[in-house]
Amino acid sequence: MERELERGYVKKGPWSREEDEVLLRHVRKYGPREWSSIRSKGFLPRTGKSCRLRWVNKLRPNLKTGCKFSAEEERLVIEMQTQFGNKWAKIATYLPGRTDNDVKNFWSSRRKRLERMLQKPPTLKLQKSKGKTPLTQVLADKVFQAPPCSSNQVEENLCYSTSYMGNTEVFEMINLQDLVKPNYEQMENDYLSAVEVEATPLHTVPSFESSSGNNFPVLPEPLIDFPLFPECQDLVPETFDPNFIDGFDEKKCSEFVCSQKLGTGLPTLGLEENYQITTSNVLFKDFPSEIFEYFEQIPTSTKQ
């Protein structure tokens, strides 16, 4: 420890319990700021950045450590990423107890999962499927490989799809098993029609129509409960804008809404360079269900 406090020495790697305690003491005394002084005053041989990161990601109160993302959290991340892109810190403000690192890791793992699935060599059934977009191909993969399923399996293969009818966003449930036909030979012949099968709209939610006349999708209030710890107050953004207007000028807003309606703002897990989705009729139904832990079941009542 003596050596670690020598001038110029910077410790890296995993944090020890003792280091955590020192950092916590500092935060209790001075608040979550002046990170650089922790090193300059000789408390820890860690950089200010490292101290801040440790606090934000592990030591901060009310963190959901060690529990998987819930279905609702998963849904929110997907929605927010569609809206904001890779703005993990912003997305994290809507998920109480989750850090930007959590969200980033979650998304990254799902993206890797998708990438791996796309790289899998096609099966016997799929080798005949040429000239299709990879995402559609993957869905076809899912369809063709899915065995006849029991009723409880059906539930696991439900997924969301959204599209737009005018200014109304339509949520649809896609049951991937519905796309499975028992006759594989027939499926091979016309799988394209199978993957483009129309789903029945189960309910709609109003969107893009705000009282102010601006057309913005309305997002839920961010859920943050930091005020339990006064010293964490500065972690709370000064203003919450549930309608996410602040970052856009009028032109960008117009482009944003336009892209939503055209479907170009759809979640592509960062693969858009290669796998452009061009119509609003493909959203989650273009993602294999395996890449997400949960598939949302449609609520029975219409959203308000």
Partner DNA sequence: AACAAACGCAACCGCATCAAG
Partner DNA sequence: CCTTGATGCGGTTGCGTTTGT
Footprint of DNA on this chain (CB under 7 A)?
A: 11-15, 33-36, 40, 46, 48-50, 52-54, 57-58, 65-66, 68, 86-90, 100-102, 104-106, 108-109, 112-113, 116, 234
In whole angstroms, how close is the CB of 188 to DNA at the nearest point? 24
In whole angstroms, how close is the CB of 290 to DNA at the nearest point? 8
The sign of the dihedral angle between the CA atoms of 247, 250, 256, 261 is positive
**Of 251, 193, 205, 240, the residue nearest 79 (C-alpha):** 205
| Shorter beta-carbon distance to DNA: residue 90 or 162 | 90
Q: Which DSSP letter does residue 55 get?
A: I
In whole angstroms, how close is the CB of 172 to DNA at the nearest point? 26
In whole angstroms, how close is the CB of 202 to DNA at the nearest point? 29
| Shorter beta-carbon distance to DNA: residue 48 or 201 | 48
| Shorter beta-carbon distance to DNA: residue 242 or 299 | 242
**Which residues, other chains included, contact 128 with Cβ-Cβ below 8 Å and sequence gap of 6+?**
188
Are 266 and 161 in contact by the 8 Å Cβ rule? The answer is: no
| Shorter beta-carbon distance to DNA: residue 101 or 214 | 101
| Shorter beta-carbon distance to DNA: residue 103 or 257 | 103
CA distance 37 to 44: 9
| 3-class SS of residue 165 | strand
CA distance 194 to 186: 10
Are 284 and 159 in contact by the 8 Å Cβ rule? The answer is: yes
In whole angstroms, how close is the CB of 291 to DNA at the nearest point? 8
Q: How big is the chain, counted in residues?
A: 304
| Shorter beta-carbon distance to DNA: residue 106 or 295 | 106
Which helix H or strand E contains 161, and what residues bound it?
A: strand 158-165
In whole angstroms, how close is the CB of 214 to DNA at the nearest point? 23
